[in-house]
Amino acid sequence: MSIERRRYATGVYVLSLIGTGCVALIVLGEMMGGPDRRVFWQIGGAALGGIFVVYGLILLLLRKMGLLGPRRAER
């Protein structure tokens, strides 16, 4: 495995750990949140946005590694 590909693989691994942390924050927000404690709902909502960003970055790194092919528009 080349150094560049190893760096991308490490990035995917780190981003997946961040995504797992975001899932934990969403669960915490749902369990602890309520009408009188909306701050936990806001934390969960922010974590959901974080998951969307992390997912996009993981797809970008997988494409750079060559594991995902081009889109139909790029063929």
- Extents of the domains making up the chain: 3-64
Q: CA torsion 19→21→47→54, rounded to 10°?
A: -20
pLDDT tens for each residue of 18-70: 999 999 999 999 999 988 999 999 999 999 999 999 999 999 999 988 888 77
pLDDT over 80 at 72, yes or no: no
> Whole-angstrom Cα distance, residue 33 to residue 24?
14
Q: What mean pLDDT is predicted for residues 6-23?
A: 96
Contact call for residues 19 and 59 (beta carbons, < 8 A) = no
Helices assigned H by DSSP within 1-66: 3-32, 38-65
Q: ∠ at Cα 51 (47, 52), nearest 5°?
A: 120
